[in-house]
Amino acid sequence: MAGNAGRAVRWAGEGPRAVLALALFLGGITVGYAWVVARHLRDDARDTSRLLGRVFAGLNDPRPDAATDALLDLAAQVRGLGIPIAVTDTAGRISAMANAPLASNADSVTLRRWITQLDAVNTPIVQPGVGTIHYGPLPAARRFTVLAVLEGAVFLCLALLAVWAYRSQVAAARDRLWVAMARESAHQLGTPLMSLTGWIAYLRENPGTPVGELADHLEADAERLERVAKRFERIGRPVRREPVGLGALAERVVSYFRPRMPTLASPVTLTLVATGPGPTALGDPVLVEWALEAVIKNAIDALSGRGGRIDVTVDALGAVARMSVHDDGPGLSPEIRGRLFEPGATTKAGGWGIGLALARRIVEQQHGGRLSYHPAPDGPGSVFVLEFPSAPSPGPGTRGLGPV
């Protein structure tokens, strides 16, 4: 999969150069087309002026045979224009031809076929006293046709290239998403697995430790693994709508993370300020918990290697239920703030930047809430606020917030 993504990226790198080459080629054709049109119009004006000049010269010539000479001269000039012409009388017999691609002694069937081709290009003209005039296009029209075909071919190539670039981009984005989701699942499972490994190592180093002292922690890790598995089952399914006590949900998340925070090198303190199990929001408790954990993990990563404090606050403001996560880390630079919630935006080496993007999708698209970032008001640090529309508090018969 990563190989497909790499190939898509490499091919996508060729796209701009191909587009530039086609654009330059199309520009050259357009300039050439304009030059041919301008030259044709200039030549057409010259030829028309020459024909009119010869007509006026014949009319002003006092010689008896001047009119005949003028007509013959006009016929010669018309033939010089290169327009294929055939004249048929009222009986359909060919009486005259000019610029014909066929010999005058060609068989009548071949000549009739040629006249039919002329009529397919231009509607014949019926001239009283002369017959029917069948004529074809100017030679310049062929150049126009060639240029138009070239322009159409270039436009088609550009369209195909755009479709190819779009599909390559979608395929590359899909591959990146699958890789990111795989990394996110590994990240989600990593915390309880590392915790279980730590408890096992502790038991081996202290074989006389009563199991009851560690049972709660081991049970919490097992429940955590079960909840992580349930989360990925939610992908692609309709979001549940049930009352969720944000205070109780935040208490469960904080209670799980607090004993697993570093306490020796670069200690991190995690606190919760909530006035009870509420306020209550309407949504999917599994997904809301996922969003809160993603924000708390982002705060933990911000304090990695330096230590600090993370404060989680749950309160209500009017019809909005809120959870705020405040850390006293270094904060975010203005460059990263503008794309903070976009997939791939991360300040961690080797990070995939999927956590906050996933959290915003859960909060805003699936619950109609809002996830926002604010610089810490009292110094360096960051504040993330998760807002949900409030719902009536759960009654006695309402389903609780235990593992789903």
Assessment of whether the complete model's pTM goes beyond 0.75: no
* 364 Cβ contact partners less than 8 Å away, ≥ 6 residues apart: 370, 371
| pLDDT single digits (tens) 209-261 | 776 767 777 777 777 777 777 666 666 667 788 999 999 999 999 998 888 78
Cα separation of 352 and 350, whole Å? 7
Average pLDDT over residues 5-16: 51
The Cα–Cα gap between 193 and 224 comes to 10
Q: What angle do CA 391, 250, 355 make, to 5 degrees?
A: 100
Tokens at 110, concatenated: 């071949």
In terms of pLDDT, which residue wins out, 153 or 353?
153
Q: DSSP 3-state helix, strand, coil percentages of the chain (rounded to 5)? A: 55, 15, 30
Angle between helices 211-233 and 139-205 (to 10 degrees): 170
Instruction: Please give the backbone phi and psi of residue 240, each rounded to the nearest 5 degrees, phi first.
Output: -70, 155
Residue 284 has pLDDT above 50, yes or no: yes
Confidence label for 385 from pLDDT (cuts 50, 70 and 90): very high
Both tokens of 190, joined, read 């990593």
- Work out the angle between the directed axes of helices 211-233 and 285-302 (0-180°, nearest 10): 110
pLDDT band at 402 (very low <50, low <70, confident <90, very high): very low
> Could you tell me the two tokens for 58?
């014949």
What CA–CA distance (Å, rounded) separates 118 from 70?
27
Question: Which domains can be identified in the chain, with CATH numbers?
Answer: 2-141 (no CATH), 240-389 (3.30.565.10)
Pick 276 or 26 by higher pLDDT. 276
Q: CA 361 to CA 343: how far, in whole Å?
A: 11
CA dist 83 and 372 (Å) reads 73
